[in-house]
Amino acid sequence: MRIIKKHPISLTENLKKQLLLWAQQFNEVVWLDGNDYPQKHGSYRAILAVDAFTALKTDERQAFDKLKDYQTITADWVFGYLSYDLKNDVEKLESNNFDGLNFPDLYFFQPKKIFLFHDELVEVQYLKLVEDEIEEDWKDILKTNDVLQFENKVKLEARTSKVSYFQKVHSVLEHIKIGNIYEANFCQEFYSEAAVINPIKTYLDLNNISKTPFSAFLKLDEFFALSASPERYIKRTGDEVVSQPIKGTIRRSQDLRRDAQLALELANDPKERSENIMIVDLVRNDLSRVASKGSVEVEELCGVYSFMQVHQLISTISCRIPLETPSVEILRYTFPMGSMTGAPKISAMKIMEDLEDAKRGVYSGSIGYFTPSGDFDFNVVIRSILYNSVKKYISFSVGGAITINSLPEREYEECLLKAKAMVEVLGSFE
């Protein structure tokens, strides 16, 4: 049972900082921030969930079954992540690449304390056993005033050399030419060992230069995910399910006329549009496995959305589902998200496992939450820094869709464009 109280409040950047600093006293923290981006199908401006009452942490084996039991029995808010490698739970696949982070494959928790931010108020939901802490906590949050002066000086290395990257992209193109796949999302890791960062400042800096609609700060024990994701994986509201894959990227320009021209170029680029449309078809197929017959529809195809670093093409696919459909089953039948795999999905995942040099882990996975009624909302973990504070290992990965029209040099440039914000807040390349 939760005690609910509401406070009128303006969600300023300073309040966001105060909330995150206050939350660091807990081992479990999830902060989700929409950054007031005009994205369709939003529910909250931001959410903070802290302090586990119960938790589920597991490897890939029967992970979705365990999550289904946990979410059903808990029947409360639960927050956490799904790693990309849960692909091995839904298909006969393996993950044998190098893993410097060692995150659990799945980690969810039921928070004692939740803050749901609406337009001009915050809805505070505490479990009854901590209800007497509501007012004192709120006072503590508002008087928090730490100064974040830590400066990151991380030296980043590429797990895959530029020469090797070109060779691997050529291998993907060969697979496409002989018909094994027709699109694949090929990824590469950048990392640093024996590195120390301030996770809060790093996240705030990353968010400040990105301002994306599915931004997330996640802390679960020593595991941190600092995400500036622009992409929604999937959302359920009652009998409606929505997925919003991103495929298609072009840089932005500080010159307004040139910037508008770049957005128009992206909208009309046959290669970029074909990347997006292929994944739309894949998502439609995934959703049809759980949707009510004839209800899958494309609400928007290849819409141009502008972020601080890039313009991107986003499509919106929706469907209706029977109300009795278990929420975790929807995730099971659509995971991993098509924008991070390729098509055909299973073949693309097998080939990427053979070609990539690092285990993806939480990258290409998803951070999000379930509500007590079983509704959910999950992002795609891209444009994100992952950090194991015990091992002092930092990692971020970037990737792009390889199609028959891909040029390795342009794909590499796109990877560096997507990496720009993470490099800026962390340090520099070796």
The two tokens of residue 54 are 């119960």
The two tokens of residue 342 are 């390729």
Q: How confident is the model at residue 149 (pLDDT cuts 50, 70, 90)?
A: confident
Q: How confident is the model at residue 429 (pLDDT cuts 50, 70, 90)?
A: low
Number of structural domains in the chain: 1
Q: Which residues contact 338 (CB under 8 A, 6 or more apart)?
A: 245, 279, 282, 283, 286, 345
User: What is the Rg, in whole angstroms, of the alpha carbon atoms belonging to the chain?
Assistant: 21
Bridging pattern class, strands 376-379 and 232-237: antiparallel
* CA–CA distance, 196 with 13 (Å, rounded to integer): 25
Domain at 303, CATH number: 3.60.120.10
Residue 81, pLDDT above cutoff 70 = yes
pLDDT single digits (tens) 91-130: 999 999 999 999 999 999 999 999 999 999 999 999 999 9
Q: Is the peptide bond before 344 cis (omega within 30 degrees of 0)?
A: yes
Residue 360, pLDDT above cutoff 70 = yes
CB 384 within 8 A of CB 363: yes
Q: Which residues contact 392 (CB under 8 A, 6 or more apart)?
A: 193, 194, 195, 196
User: Domain of 128?
Assistant: 2-429
pLDDT at residue number 152: 82
Q: Express as a percent the part of the chain with pLDDT over 70.
A: 100
pLDDT at residue number 150: 75
Q: How confident is the model at residue 40 (pLDDT cuts 50, 70, 90)?
A: confident
CB 109 within 8 A of CB 54: yes
* CA–CA distance, 230 with 336 (Å, rounded to integer): 17
Is the pTM of the predicted complex or chain greater than 0.75?
yes
CB 175 within 8 A of CB 342: no
* CA–CA distance, 276 with 282 (Å, rounded to integer): 10
pLDDT single digits (tens) 277-326: 999 999 999 999 999 999 999 999 999 999 999 999 999 999 999 999 99
Residue type, 215: S
Q: How confident is the model at residue 430 (pLDDT cuts 50, 70, 90)?
A: low
Q: What is the total residue count of the chain?
A: 430
